[in-house]
Amino acid sequence: MTRVLVVRAAGTNCDRETAHAFAAVGGNPETRHVNELLAEPALLREYRILVFPGGFSYGDDIAAGRVFATELRQRAVPEIERLVADGGLVLGICNGFQVLVKTGLLPGGEGQVVTLAHNDSHRYQDEWVPLHVATDKSFLAKGERFLFPIAHAEGKLVASDETLDRLEENGQLVLRYARNPNGSLRDVAGMCDRTGRILGLMPHPERHLEPWHHPTWTRNGLAAEPDGLRFFQQAIAAVS
């Protein structure tokens, strides 16, 4: 089975749900504290997928994901890049996306050129949002549609027009909101690096694993395949 490493830190609160999601689609997930990875970055060589789940790492005391990102950048980034070069996947969900942006792993190759700023509403938002896959750069299929919940206060993707033009041309602006909840520029809900093997997104696919997770299941019936299962199945397939 595909081995998956879910890395948590103080304040992470979606690690168990994320591990459960990978187990539900046939993966073999293991959760470890970030200190274990920092002490021995080479342990990544035992895994095919690395995941930074959602939550509020280190309380977002400086900015969302920044402390976690600083730790990784100093010790673990070379091994993360090796994992990607060997055909593995790196996934960051919500706070994990913020971490990947602040390490410079996303969009990659040029330091931190995008950020995730406070929502236009100036408040924490927890709601279901429709989104679609805009490119075929990542392991997701272009044109595919998902419905996932968001749960964040700093989810507005911000970058210069020049940077966004370049990322769009490269196909790196993978996920777009059909209804933009936070003011994210160009409706970006998620992006990948230039290899397509590192993907970050603000919505939570691990919160739509069961048919009754869907907010309208009592009116419209139970879906045969929840959107989150499809998402994680494709991640596993990409490294199998």
Q: What is the pLDDT of residue 162?
A: 97
Specify burial of residue 234 (Cβ count, 10 A radius: 0-12, 13-18, 19+).
middle
| Total domain count, the chain | 1
On whether the pTM is more than 0.75, the answer is yes
User: What 3-state DSSP class applies to 83?
Assistant: helix
Interval 130-168: pLDDT, tens? 999 999 999 999 999 999 999 999 999 999 999 999 999
Q: What is the pLDDT of residue 112?
A: 87
Q: Which of 71, 206, 213, 214 is catalytic?
A: 206
Per-residue confidence band for 62, with pLDDT thresholds at 50, 70 and 90: low
Q: Which of 17, 79, 192, 204 is catalytic?
A: 204
Q: What is the pLDDT of residue 8?
A: 94
Q: What is the pLDDT of residue 77?
A: 93
Q: What is the pLDDT of residue 68?
A: 85
Q: Which of 94, 154, 213, 214 is catalytic?
A: 94
Under 8 Å between Cβ of 15 and 56: no
Inform me whether the pLDDT recorded for 232 exceeds 90.
yes
Q: What is the mean pLDDT of the chain?
A: 94
Interval 184-215: pLDDT, tens? 999 999 999 999 999 999 999 999 999 999 99
The boundaries of the domain holding residue 214 are: 3-239
Give CA separation, 151 vs 69, 91, 231, in Å: 20, 17, 18
Inform me whether the pLDDT recorded for 65 exceeds 90.
no
Active site residue 33: no
Q: What is the pLDDT of residue 69?
A: 79
Residue type, 95: N
Q: What is the CATH number of the domain that holds 36?
A: 3.40.50.880
Helices (H), 28-180: 34-39, 66-75, 77-85, 95-103, 161-169
Instruction: Please compute the mean of the pLDDT values over residues 4-23 and round it to a whole number.
Output: 96
Q: What is the pLDDT of residue 64?
A: 58
Q: What is the pLDDT of residue 155?
A: 96
Per-residue confidence band for 58, with pLDDT thresholds at 50, 70 and 90: confident
Active site residue 110: no
Q: What is the pLDDT of residue 32?
A: 97
